[in-house]
A = this chain, B = another copy of it.
């Protein structure tokens, strides 16, 4: 068991090792001993940087969510009409998740399990997403494209109405070749609902 410590031990390096172990063994069999072995250190050292196995897993979940949602802020901050941006935002969110899910279903399931454990992380992340929706809708109201009484309420409604297309519990349906048309149909309905009459 010769160590291969070519760098100092950092949270960053531990997270990378943890991801590798999760990729290889899945969430059920990944242990912190495995993580330590990949790093060539004793498992006690890992506990110097993460208070518990749970904390480590939460950090991995957080990291993954950041990566999966990385493309969205650019859409939110775009210059296109609000309706277009809203549709594009929803398709981006759906598209990234679907691609991840279909590309490597097992790895996707691993990350989903991780995120499901980390209820704090997930709540914060969802609030951030709804805030982006609210910003797009607010822009639309300002430009006269949309007319809504209560922007946050509508943002939440849009988020909830598209649960089928971004919530991992529905990922089995994302293999349906018709799924994008379904999302479009829901978008049509929602956008018509947001427009002034």
Contact = CB atoms under 8 A, between A and B. Distances in A.
Interface of A: 153-154, 156-158, 160-164, 169-170, 182, 185-186, 188-195, 197
A93 B189 CA distance: 21
Chain copies in complex: 2
A194 B192 CA distance: 8
Nearest to A165: B160
Given A163-B164, A164-B163, A170-B163, A193 B188 contact: yes
A194 B195 CA distance: 12
B170 A156 contact: no
Contacts of A191: 193
A43 to B, nearest CB: 34
Nearest to A162: B161
Given A161-B162, A191-B193, A185 B169 contact: no
Contacts of A192: 192-194, 197
Contacts of A169: 169-170
Contacts of A190: 161, 189-190, 193
